[in-house]
A and B are shown apart, each in its own frame.
Chain A
Amino acid sequence: MTYLEDLVVGEERQFGRYEVTEEEIMDFARRYDNQPFHTDKEAAKNSMYGGLIASGWHTCAMFMRMACDAQAGQNRMAMMGSPGFDDLKWLRPVRPGDVLSARSKIVSATPSENKPDRGTARVQIWVLNQNGEIVLEMTSMGRFLRRPDETNA
């Protein structure tokens, strides 16, 4: 189990590979972001984006999938969800055929002031395309359990 104490501030990781398809871009957007530049190829051509682009929220979702997959083979994280994120920037459009990957860097791991069993980690996230260009960045937060006191275990 990976607890708050096991997180190393400054540690960086690279993970994930996600091929973005036109079908998935349109599927996601029809349900959650129904705007012409996400759902209509012809209209998207005439838009300022010059073609179909993924919803920014779809890019977030694809990042989350890569993050979950990266954890699957590893020590289970003692995670209790996330309180949110800050400074999310969609820096470049994500287009059909793009292949995304992710990088993360642990910024801080701080015990809670009023709940002794847990704490919050802040992690800087970058999502890159196949050309190494950053398409998304944000500071994500995760709520982690602290390592139980061995002497009381």
Chain B
Amino acid sequence: MKYFEDIELGEVWDLGSREVSEAEIVAFATRYDPQPFHIDAAAAETSYFGGLIASGWHTCAIFMGLLADSIKAQKLASLGAPGIDHCRWLVPVRSGDVLRGRTTILELRPSRSKPMGLVTCRTELFNQDGTKVAQLQGVGMYGRRPVAAVAEDTELGVSA
């Protein structure tokens, strides 16, 4: 398990990538953001965006999908998140785009009242051309290393 204590300032997580299909763009937006430029390819053609684009909330959801996979892969003691300081949707996300995420750790703060730490991080999402499509900065909560686990690891000679 990777705890708050194991996260280092300036650490960069490559979140991997996900391809965004037209079917997924339309399915997400039909349920959560049914505006013509997200759900109707023909109407989207004549819109300001010149074609179907993903809902910004869908882009955020894809970011979270990548982060959740990374949390699992890194065995991070994630406890959820209190919020996002700011998020910018910089360039439209279109069907066929392959989004890659990169998270940088900006600040580490132990909680005074709970056995957790608050981790401020910035995530950038890039498309297959290397163009940044979104950037967000937020805080995640991660569990502290239990005292018993420290002792156990030491006894067994397990490195963190």
Contacts and interface: CB of A to CB of B under 8 A. Distances in A.
A90 interface: yes
Contacts, number: 92
Interface in A7-51: 28, 31-35, 37, 47-49
A88 interface: yes
Contacts of A65: 31-34
Interface string A136-151: 0010000000000000
B69, B71, B72, B84, most chain A CB atoms within 10 A: B84
Given A61-B32, A64-B57, A81-B49, A56 B89 contact: no
Interface of B is mostly: mixed
A33 B83 contact: no
B57 A60 contact: yes
B64 A81 contact: no
Contacts of A80: 48
Given A33-B61, A33-B64, A81-B49, A62 B82 contact: no
A37, A64, A83, most chain B CB atoms within 10 A: A64
B65 interface: yes
Nearest to A24: B31
Interface of A is mostly: mixed
Given A68-B35, A82-B56, A84-B89, A57 B82 contact: no
A55 interface: yes
B84 A55 contact: no
Given A82-B56, A89-B83, 9 more contacts: A32-B68, A35-B80, A53-B80, A55-B64, A64-B55, A65-B31, A68-B33, A86-B87, A89-B82
Interface of A: 28, 31-35, 37, 47-49, 53, 55-58, 60-62, 64-65, 68, 80-90, 138
11 contacts: A31-B61, A32-B61, A33-B61, A56-B81, A57-B61, A68-B33, A83-B88, A84-B86, A85-B84, A87-B86, A88-B138
